[in-house]
Amino acid sequence: MTFQWARTNDYLDDAQENNSVDSVGNRRLEGTISGYAFTRYLYNDSAGKPLMEKWIVQDLKHAWSGGAAGASYTDPKGPDASQEMWRFFKQSRPLATKSKKRHLEGPPLLCLLGE
Ligand SMILES: [Ca+2]
């Protein structure tokens, strides 16, 4: 999913497919929450602003990470996906009102995936 968005944003960045936004990412962070190891991949646009973020959580099953205990398809031990989404989208830029720059000011993408 991040590959496709990176490719789309690469083209929208300067109307060329030239890896001005690539699918490799700008930064990689690793950590552990409640025994789950995770890796965060941070992607910036060509201006250096956050564009996308991907989390890979080891051993997380098909469940909402950090969800309420006892709820269906949740894993309360995983990183809190809701909190991370809130953190991520708070840093995003508002949508542009003029169409000329709209593609550069659209909402960024956050993915939280189990592996
Ligand atoms: Ca480009």
- Tokens 């962070």 — which residue? 29
How many domains, in total, are found in the chain? 1
Furthest CA-CA distance within the chain: 48
Distance (Å) from CA 45 to ligand 1 centroid = 10
pLDDT for 112 equals 64
pTM given for the model: 0.73
User: What residues have their beta carbon closer than 5 A to ion ligand 1?
Assistant: 10, 13-14, 16, 18, 20
Domain that holds residue 30: 2-114
Distance (Å) from CA 46 to ligand 1 centroid = 8
Distance (Å) from CA 101 to ligand 1 centroid = 15
Percent of the chain clearing pLDDT 70 (strictly above): 78
Distance (Å) from CA 39 to ligand 1 centroid = 26
- pLDDT tens per residue across span 10-62: 887 788 888 888 778 889 999 999 889 999 999 887 778 888 888 999 999 89
Nearest to 25 by CA among 57, 54, 56, 58: 54
The H or E element containing residue 4 is helix 2-14
SS3 content of the chain, % helix, strand, coil (to 5): 25, 30, 45
